Structure 1
């Protein structure tokens, strides 16, 4: 049975400062560092000591620090991939969230959603985000390693899961999966039918226990 554990990075400074994240390179808060340790401990308990495992991560500081904690617990060196980054919000990155809220143009209920311009200079469209996440996931899925960890961001999570279940990008204009910061989502593929499942979404129970 193949397992991919998808981790959304825990609390970062842009969360508490009410700043737009995206490619803005915020760091984990003290609480986020504690949560990263709890995530690492939970994954160590889920993955057999003798299993081959790989850890893939967005290269931004908040995900990289989370991946480093996980890699230390699993005794592996993380593989950093900028394609696993959060959606770029262009000129809004690092600005106050209310600055973005005043300018943001939501996608239409019906019509062109993947290529929709949200009114923010330099921001990625949903299509651009999906294309790079799908490319990163293609490489991860092609790797025969049966125990893998993907450390990414809350917005990017949607397309990690959509790619995993084989949803065509052109059909991904309405898809949305939501998970809290610091969560673990479990993806599995059985060895007989090779069906792929989202076995659990956004599990945060490990955050309720103090790490050792």
Structure 2
């Protein structure tokens, strides 16, 4: 099973340099709407079987063109919602960097709990659980292999990628997930394989052309048969 982690397009909060969190009504800006339309072309003819999204408006808007093009009804999963930033919600990033907690978020995010909000460790637990659960479900529905899209938020995507990479949550700030970027994980019975991170190129199709499988000397299938070629743009 392969999941494309799609971050929502650029939002009005992104351009205002505020922390949107779970604020209602935060929509895409003009650039974000262009990015949402561009997702369809970037997917090309990839055989996407399902779309799962965060309940927030900016994710709904991002997947609308893709869902229409594919004739799919996105599934809403609350576990893919943005971080509950609590009292930080809606505040300017420039002000938040002065808070003592900011350094914890950057240097030891596993210990960060937002005031009257949630901890980043909880975010990772709920998001990874959701992704793996949908991955298993879709595998059963589609005979063991399918490509699907999960549209969610930057910190959520970074937390899922850290888990797939086997990186401690304290290292997740080393990962980038730009607006409308796509990161790709293939889950196998052995381990997850991270195929792309923060792909922002024009065509994801060419980046998902499989390399020929190689066989390890001991007769077992090598890791390369689970790795998909193409460079991240």
Q: CA deviation digits over 1:106-163, x for unaligned, max 9?
A: 22898x752334xx52132111211211221121221214111010111111122234
Q: Which runs of 5+ in 2 are unaligned?
A: 204-233
SS in 2 for 1:6: strand
Instruction: From the superposition, tell whether residues 23 and 8 of structure 1 become closer, same or farther in structure 2 (CA, over 3 Å).
Output: same
Contact 1:68 1:77 in 2 (8 A): no
SS in 1 for 2:6: strand
Instruction: From the superposition, tell whether residues 54 and 164 of structure 1 become closer, same or farther in structure 2 (CA, over 3 Å).
Output: farther
The structure 2 residue matched to 1:180, chosen from 178, 181, 197, is 178
Instruction: From the superposition, tell whether residues 184 and 102 of structure 1 become closer, same or farther in structure 2 (CA, over 3 Å).
Output: same
SS in 1 for 2:111: coil
2:147 maps to which residue?
147
1:73 maps to which residue?
69
2:91 maps to which residue?
95
- TM-score after normalising by structure 2: 0.74
Runs of 4+ aligned residues of structure 1 deviating over 4 Å after TM superposition are: none
Distance in 2 between the 1:97 and 1:85 partners? 20
**Alignment length (residue pairs):** 194
Contact 2:158 2:176 in 1 (8 A): yes
Q: Which runs of 5+ in 1 are unaligned?
A: 208-212
- Greater relative contact order structure (CA < 8 Å, 6+ sep): 1
Mapping of residues 1-212 of structure 1, within 5 Å: 2-25=1-24, 26-43=26-43, 45-48=44-47, 53-105=49-101, 106-107=103-104, 113-117=109-113, 120-143=114-137, 144=139, 145=142, 146-164=146-164, 167=166, 171-176=168-173, 177-189=175-187, 194-206=190-202
Distance in 2 between the 1:109 and 1:203 partners? 23
- TM-score after normalising by structure 1: 0.80
CA RMSD after TM alignment: 2.5
SS in 2 for 1:59: coil
Distance in 1 between the 2:149 and 2:104 partners? 32
Distance in 1 between the 2:106 and 2:160 partners? 23
Structure showing greater Rg? 2
Q: CA deviation digits over 1:161-192, x for unaligned, max 9?
A: 23445x49xx43333421211111122246xx
SS in 1 for 2:72: coil
Instruction: From the superposition, tell whether residues 138 and 186 of structure 1 become closer, same or farther in structure 2 (CA, over 3 Å).
Output: closer
Instruction: From the superposition, tell whether residues 95 and 3 of structure 1 become closer, same or farther in structure 2 (CA, over 3 Å).
Output: same
